[in-house]
Chain A
Amino acid sequence: MSQTLPALGQIAVLVVALAVAVPFLGRLLAHVYTSERHWRVESAAYRVLRLDPDADQHWRVYALSVLAFSMVGVFAVYAIARLQPHLPASIGMASFPADGAWNTAVSFVTNTNWQWYSGESAAGNLLQASGLAVQNFVSAAVGLCVAAALARGLARQRAGGRVGNFWADLTRTCVRVLLPGAFVAALVLVALGVVQNLAGARTITTLDGGSQSLPGGPIASQEAIKQLGTNGGGPYNANSAHPFENPTPLSDLFAVFLMLVLPFAMAWAFGLIVRDRRQGGVVIAVMTALLGTSIGLLTWAEMAGHGTAPQLAGAAMEGKEVRFGEAASALFAAATTGTSTGAVNATHDSLTAAGGGLAMFNMMLGEIAPGGTGSGLYGMLMLAVVTVFIAGLMVGRTPEYLGKKIGQREMMLVAGYVLATPVLVLAGIAVAITAKDGLAGLQESGPHGLSEALYAVTSASNNNGSAFGGLTSGTPFWNTLLGLLMLFGRFLPIVLVLALAGRFAAARTLPAGPGTLPTHRPLFAVLLGGVALVLVGLTYVPVLSLGPIAEALS
Chain B
Amino acid sequence: MTTTQLTPNGQAPGSSPEPDDHAGTRQSALGLGRRQVVEALPAALRKLNPLELVRTPVMLVVEIGAVVTTVLSVGDPSTLGVMVTVWLWLTVLFGTYAEAVAEGRGKAQAASLRALQAETDARRRLKDGSHELVPSTSLRAGDVVLVEAGERIPGDGEVIEGVASVDESAVTGESAPVIRESGGDRSAVTGGTVVLSDRILVRISSDPGSSFVDRMIALVEGSQRQRTPNEIALDVLLGSLTIIFGVVVASLYFVADYSDAHQSVLVLVALLVCLIPTTIGALLSAIGIAGMDRLVRRNVLAMSGRAVEAAGDVDVLLLDKTGTITYGNRRATELLAVGGVEQAALERAALLSSLADETPEGRSIVELVRATTPTLADADAPAGAALVEFSAATRMSGLDAPGLELRKGAASAVQAWVREHGGVVPSDLDAVVGAVSEQGGTPLVVAEREAEGRARVLGVIHLADVVKDGIAERFAELRAMGIRTVMITGDNAVTARVIAERAGVDDVLAEATPEDKLALIRQEQRGGRMVAMCGDGTNDAPALAQADVGVAMNTGTVAAKEAGNMVDLDSDPTKLIEVVEIGKQLLITRGALTTFSVANDVAKYFAILPAMFVPAFPQLDVLNVMRLSSPGSAIVSAVVFNALVIIALIPLALRGVRYRPAAAADLLRRNLLVYGVGGLIAPFVGIKLLDLVVSLLPGL
- Chain A residues with a Cβ under 8 A of chain B: 386, 389-398, 403, 406-408, 410-412, 415-416, 418-419, 422-423, 426-427, 429-430, 433-434, 446-447, 450, 508-511, 513-518, 521, 523, 527, 530, 534, 537-539, 541-543, 545-546, 549-550, 553-554
Kindly list chain A residues whose C-beta atoms are within 8 Å of the C-beta of B309. Answer: 398
B64 within 8 A of A: no
Confirm or deny: B527 has a beta carbon within 8 angstroms of a beta carbon on chain A: yes
Residues of B within 8 A of A521 (CB): 665
Cβ–Cβ contact A396 & B528, under 8 A? no
Q: Which of B236, B248, B668 contacts A395 (CB 8 A)?
A: B668
Shortest B507–chain A CB gap in Å is 14
CB-CB contacts below 8 Å: B238-253 with A: 239-240, 243-245, 247-253
0/1 per residue, B663-685, Cβ < 8 Å to A?
Answer: 11101110110011000000000
Cα distance A450–B254 when bound, in Å? 11
A401 CB → nearest B CB, Å: 13
What are the interface flags for B301-313 relative to A under an 8 Å C-beta threshold, 1 for contact and 0 otherwise? 0000000010011
A residues within 8 A CB of B668? 391, 394-395, 517, 523, 527
B588 at interface, CB cutoff 8 A: yes
A534 touches B591 (CB 8 A): no
Q: Are B602 and A534 in contact (CB under 8 A)?
A: yes
Does residue B529 face the partner (Cβ distance < 8 Å to A)? yes
B653 within 8 A of A: no
Contact across chains for A419 and B243 when beta carbons are under 8 A apart: yes
Quote the shortest CB–CB distance from B616 to chain A (angstroms).
8
- What's the least CB distance linking A285 to chain B, in Å? 16
Residue ID in chain B nearest A433 by CB atoms: B258
- Smallest Cβ distance from A445 to chain B, in angstroms? 9
| Complexed CA–CA distance, A508 and B530 (Å) | 13
A394 to chain B, nearest CB (A): 4
Q: Across the interface, do B252 and A389 meet the contact criterion of CB distance under 8 Å?
A: no
Dominant secondary structure of chain A at its interface with chain B: helix
- Interchain CB contact (< 8 A) of A546 among B237, B256, B663: B256
With both beta carbons as reference points, the residue of chain B lying nearest to A515 in the complex is identified as B482
Q: Is the CB of B591 within 8 A of A390?
A: yes
With contact pairs A422-B244, A534-B598 given, residues A394 and B251 touching in the complex (Cβ less than 8 Å): no
User: Does chain A have a CB within 8 A of B622?
Assistant: yes
Q: How far is the CB of B600 from chain A (nearest CB, A)?
A: 11
* Cα separation A26 to B39 with both chains bound (whole Å): 64
The answer on a CB contact under 8 Å between A546 and B591 is no
Residue in chain A with minimal CB distance to B275: A538
Q: Is B531 part of the binding interface, using a Cβ–Cβ cutoff of 8 Å?
A: no
Q: Is A418's CB under 8 angstroms from B312's CB?
A: no
CA distance A546 to B251 in the complex (A): 12
Which one of A396, A422, A534 contacts B584 once the chains associate, using CB atoms below 8 Å? A396
Assuming the contacts A390-B595, A393-B591, A415-B237, asked whether A422 and B613 have C-beta atoms less than 8 A apart, the reply is no
Known: A390-B591, A543-B251. A398 touches B244 (CB 8 A): no
Tell me if A508 and B312 are in contact (CB < 8 A).
no
Q: B residues touching A (Cβ–Cβ < 8 Å)? A: 229-230, 232-234, 236-237, 239-240, 243-245, 247-259, 261, 275, 309, 312-313, 315, 479-484, 527-529, 583-585, 587-588, 590-592, 594-595, 598-599, 601-602, 605, 609, 613, 617, 619-620, 622-623, 659, 663-665, 667-669, 671-672, 675-676
What are 17 A-to-B residue pairs whose CB atoms are below 8 Å? A393-B591, A395-B664, A396-B481, A398-B309, A398-B587, A408-B229, A415-B240, A416-B240, A419-B243, A427-B251, A429-B254, A513-B315, A513-B482, A514-B479, A543-B251, A546-B255, A550-B259
A545/B247 in contact, CB under 8 A = no
Chain B residues near A412: list those with CB within 8 A.
Answer: 236
Given A429-B251, A508-B528, A545-B613: A554 and B619 interface contact (C-beta under 8 Å)? yes
What A residues does B590 contact at CB under 8 A? 393
Complex CA distance for A269 and B254, rounded to whole angstroms: 43
Q: How far is the CB of B641 from chain A (nearest CB, A)?
A: 17
Cβ B240 vs Cβ A418 within 8 A = yes
Q: How far is the CB of A547 from chain B (nearest CB, A)?
A: 8
The chain B residue sitting closest to A521, CB to CB, is B665
Chain A residues with CB below 8 A from B528, complex form: 403, 508-511
Does A447 contact B259, Cβ atoms closer than 8 Å?
yes
Q: How far is the CB of A253 from chain B (nearest CB, A)?
A: 36
A550 engages B619 (CB within 8 Å) = yes
**Residues of the A chain whose Cβ atoms lie less than 8 Å from the Cβ of B275:** 538
Whole-angstrom distance between the Cβ of A344 and the nearest chain B Cβ: 25
Chain B residues with CB under 8 Å of A553's CB are 617, 619-620, 622
A430 to B480, alpha carbons, bound, how many Å? 52
**Contact (Cβ within 8 A) B587 A393:** yes
In the complex, chain A residues whose CB is within 8 Å of the CB of B527: 511
The answer to whether A539 and B244 touch across the interface, beta carbons within 8 angstroms, is yes
A189 to chain B, nearest CB (A): 41
Contacts A419-B240, A518-B664 given; does A450 touch B259 at CB 8 Å:
yes
Most-contacted residue by chain B among A422, A430, A450 (CB, 10 A): A430
7 closest Cβ pairs, A-B complex? A515-B482, A393-B591, A396-B584, A415-B240, A394-B591, A514-B482, A426-B251
- A539 x B248 contact (CB < 8 A): yes
- Chain A residues whose C-beta falls within 8 Å of the C-beta of B613 in the assembled complex: 545-546, 550
A260-B620 Cα distance, complex, nearest whole Å: 35
CB within 8 Å for A433 and B254 given contacts A510-B529, A516-B664: yes
Measured between alpha carbons, how far is A430 from B251 in the docked complex, in Å? 5
Name the residue of chain A whose CB is nearest to the CB of B665.
A518
Q: Is the Cβ of B254 less than 8 Å from the Cβ of A398?
A: no
Min C-beta distance of A18 to chain B, whole Å: 29
Q: How far is the CA of A408 from the CA of B275 in the complex (A)?
A: 23
Q: How far is the CA of A434 from the CA of B250 in the complex (A)?
A: 13
Q: How far is the CB of B511 from chain A (nearest CB, A)?
A: 27
B484: A residues at CB distance < 8 A: 513
Q: Chain A residues near B482 (CB, 8 Å)?
A: 513-516
Residues of A within 8 A of B601 (CB): 534, 538
* Residues of A contacting B251 in the complex (Cβ-Cβ under 8 angstroms): 426-427, 429-430, 543
B619/A418 in contact, CB under 8 A: no
Q: Beyond A394-B671, A396-B588, A546-B261: 15 further Cβ-contacts under 8 Å?
A: A390-B598, A396-B583, A397-B312, A410-B233, A427-B247, A429-B254, A434-B254, A447-B259, A517-B668, A518-B665, A523-B665, A530-B676, A542-B248, A543-B252, A546-B617
Is the pair B237, A397 in contact by a Cβ cutoff of 8 Å? no
Q: Tell me if A392 and B243 are in contact (CB < 8 A).
A: no
Q: A398-B312, A450-B259 are in contact. Are A542 and B672 (CB under 8 A)?
A: no
- Nearest Cβ distance between residue B682 and chain A, in whole angstroms? 16
Q: Is B620 within 8 A of A545, CB to CB?
A: yes
Given that A394-B595, A450-B255, A542-B248 are contacting pairs, would A407 and B233 also be in contact in the complex, using a CB cutoff of 8 Å? yes
Residue of B nearest to A396 (CB): B584
Contacts of B261 in A (CB 8 A): 546
Chain B residues whose C-beta falls within 8 Å of the C-beta of A397 in the assembled complex: 312-313, 584, 587, 664
Task: Give, as a whole number of angstroms, the nearest-CB distance from B190 to chain A.
Answer: 32
Question: Does B252 contact A411, Cβ atoms closer than 8 Å?
Answer: no
One of B233, B255, B584, B592 near A411 (C-beta < 8 A)? B233
Is A545 a contact partner of B230 (Cβ separation < 8 A)? no
Contacts of B609 in A (CB 8 A): 541-542, 545
Q: Is the CB of A396 within 8 A of B256?
A: no
Residues of A within 8 A of B244 (CB): 418-419, 422-423, 538-539
Indicate if the CB atoms of B237 and A386 lie closer than 8 Å: yes
A422 touches B247 (CB 8 A): yes
> Once the chains are docked, how many angstroms separate the CA of A407 from the CA of B230?
6
Bound-state Cα–Cα, A521 to B667, Å: 14
CA distance A529 to B481 in the complex (A): 26
Within the complex, what minimum Cβ distance (angstroms) separates A11 from chain B? 30
The CA of A393 and the CA of B248, in the complex, are separated in Å by: 27
Q: Chain B residues near A511 (CB, 8 Å)?
A: 315, 527-529
Residue of B nearest to A510 (CB): B528
- Partner of A514 from B252, B583, B623, B663 at Cβ < 8 Å: B663
- Neighbouring B residues of A523 by C-beta, 8 Å: 665, 668-669, 672
Cβ–Cβ < 8 Å partners of B623 in chain A: 545, 549
Contact check, B254 vs A546: say whether CB atoms are below 8 A apart.
no
> Of A396, A411, A537, which one neighbours B312 at CB under 8 angstroms?
A396
